[in-house]
Chain A
Amino acid sequence: MAEKLLNGVMSDVTNLTMKDTLSSQTGTFKVKAGLAQMAKGGIIMDVTTAEEARIAEEAGACAVMALERVPADIRREGGVARMTDPKKIKGIIAAVTIPVMAKSRIGHFAEAQILQALGVDMVDESEVLTPADEVNHIDKHQFEVPFVCGARDLGEALRRISEGAAMIRTKGEAGTGDVSEAVKHARTINKQIKIACALDSTELYNYAKELCVPHELLKKTTELGRLPVVNFAAGGLATPADVSLLMQLGVDGVFVGSGIFKSSNPTKRALAMAQAVTHYKDPKILAELSSDLGEAMFGVPHGDQSADKWAKTKNTAGAEKMKIWDATLGDPAKSKAQ
């Protein structure tokens, strides 16, 4: 498994092997990671209806994420958040020509199988929904459909990749409109890659142990100087400036969830944020794009415990020390019911 994975990962930028024998294969890691490659420099928007999907496509989204409720509503309303109604997903697939993604609960491989059968282009095994398995993530190698997974640090990112994720995104704090956690996660991953790159080959074994990741995958990361798959930012982005900030921190593209359809003028904001992801290096264009967008989503500052019951269970302070099983969100039943 690791070898198969490594071949795929190596192909990302500098593959040195090529299989002559393959006649025609679907669902290879290269094909799965390739879809993520094609989304690079793009913006992926959360949508809950076919109409919203069309607005997102027309605004310039490179893909849409079909959801039952946007994260901000999941937060507010609480309860168990599950996979979206297949009928709704089909409607969205029929409405747009760009790729359609959908979320499954963490560890809920049956939901993922259903999403694959529906023909979604990518599955997000997402912490935004209520985790279905407190211990295990989905074995994503078993699927033809590519997966994107959230990560708060390099350890989480590489563990998800070793499970077969074709794309990584920062977890951030979905549904808050507060970008600080996404920034923290992007910076943590960057910093840990820098640390890994500075270590010698002997030290790298121990660092792999510390991060609880396969050594080969960490080694590959140091060779590339970046994550071996496409890495997007997600969780709390609400303005074109937020997009620019994360892009300048080195992510390949962005997800925007509640930030668009929870703002006062979704069409205009969607357009501005889609433009911002390409023009992220040009503050003059960003100034124009940021002008007169109406109100951004209301937002809940990170750490505002009175307003945000989730914050209590989502202690990310020692993220790098966390074990595999801490990748879930603790016990949402306790935190959200109230």
Chain B
Amino acid sequence: MPPSGLNGSQNKHIKVGILEVQGAFQEHKVALMRANQCLQTTIKLEVMEVRHPDHLSPDMDGLIIPGGESTTISLFLKRNNMEEPLRNWIQTKGHVVWGTCAGMILLSKCTENQKDGGQPTKNSPMPIELFSFQLGMLDTVVSRNFFGRQVQSFEAQVTIKAPLLIPSNTQTGTSDSKCHGVFIRAPAVLKTTSSEIQVLAVLERPEQKDSVIVAVQQGDVIATAFHPELTDDLRWHSYFLKMIEKAKEQA
């Protein structure tokens, strides 16, 4: 057994990469730093940018895939030969990943290529699958632009289902089981295809008949259809940091 002091110092340094291809990566960085401050741990958080396969270092503990347009990001990853390095990095034990919006689409196993609020694509354009890819880390079927185009983008309260997320709400005035969701040309989870998937949050609004799954977790992978980095609610970033801590302890 290694001396506990050594173990302790290892735990105190967390490296989180942000895939800086497209999207609100700066806001994610700010939110992570603030979340780390609010958690009042002694953890030293280092946020790194990931733009090249070499940036995916094995000693990085977490990765955020922001979004963004999934088409654009997946094309970038493909062109820069980052698909396999990224898959390998994610599959390495102890590595934690979080995809927001486009990140959710990339992490899912299956995407329904739909446009305009769930209607099947008309005029069948060039099938996007031909030149895009998915990381396939979540047993989910997602729908791109589930809610429609930009004019249908919206803000709404999201109902949090994961108990871990609920208690630590300190600053904001929201009720604990709700959080502020910003949905921009957002995807949604149509169905989950494995019992390993834990639903973290759902959305209920008059426009949709049933509640819509908008955040999920499977092992060390989480995905949100909305953008917590655009709000002041740091619970999602705190949760992500806690997941990393836990994964590091277990590794």
A residues bordering B, Cβ < 8 Å? 11, 13-20, 22-28, 30-31, 34-35, 37-42, 54, 57-63, 94-99, 116, 119-122, 144-146, 271, 274-275, 278-279, 282
**Given A30-B182, A34-B153, A54-B125; A61-B21 close (CB under 8 Å):** no
Q: With the chains together, A40 CA to B145 CA distance in Å? A: 19
Q: With the chains together, A39 CA to B154 CA distance in Å? A: 17
* Contact residues in A for B69 (Cβ distance below 8 Å): 38, 42, 62-63, 97-99
Residues B155 and A116 in contact, CB atoms below 8 Å apart? no
Residues A41 and B20 in contact, CB atoms below 8 Å apart? yes
Interface string of B15-45 (1 = CB under 8 A from A): 0000011111111001000000000000000
Which of B24, B102, B116, B154 makes the CB contact (< 8 A) with A24?
A: B154
Identify which of B113, B157, B205, B233 gathers the most chain A CB atoms within 10 Å of its CB. B157
* Contact residues in A for B81 (Cβ distance below 8 Å): none
Report the 10 A-B pairs with minimum CB-CB distance, sorted nearest first: A121-B150, A24-B156, A24-B205, A94-B123, A37-B24, A34-B184, A26-B154, A31-B153, A42-B22, A62-B72
**Given A22-B156, A31-B154, A35-B153; A97-B115 close (CB under 8 Å):** yes
Q: With the chains together, A213 CA to B108 CA distance in Å? A: 46
Q: With the chains together, A22 CA to B183 CA distance in Å? A: 14
Q: With the chains together, A116 CA to B187 CA distance in Å? A: 21
Residues B185 and A145 in contact, CB atoms below 8 Å apart? no
The distance from the CB of B32 to the nearest CB of chain A, in whole angstroms, is 13
Residues B128 and A97 in contact, CB atoms below 8 Å apart? yes
Q: With the chains together, A134 CA to B146 CA distance in Å? A: 40
Q: With the chains together, A234 CA to B25 CA distance in Å? A: 22
18 contacts between A and B (CB under 8 A): A11-B231, A13-B27, A24-B205, A25-B155, A25-B156, A27-B151, A30-B182, A38-B184, A39-B22, A41-B22, A54-B126, A60-B72, A94-B125, A98-B71, A98-B72, A116-B151, A121-B151, A278-B76
* Contact residues in A for B51 (Cβ distance below 8 Å): 278-279
**Given A23-B205, A94-B125; A60-B76 close (CB under 8 Å):** yes
The distance from the CB of B56 to the nearest CB of chain A, in whole angstroms, is 15
* Contact residues in A for B231 (Cβ distance below 8 Å): 11, 15, 18
Residues B75 and A40 in contact, CB atoms below 8 Å apart? no
Q: With the chains together, A81 CA to B154 CA distance in Å? A: 33
* Contact residues in B for A60 (Cβ distance below 8 Å): 72, 75-76, 79
Q: With the chains together, A271 CA to B232 CA distance in Å? A: 36
Q: With the chains together, A22 CA to B182 CA distance in Å? A: 12
Cβ-closest chain B residue relative to A24? B156
Cβ-closest chain B residue relative to A50? B125
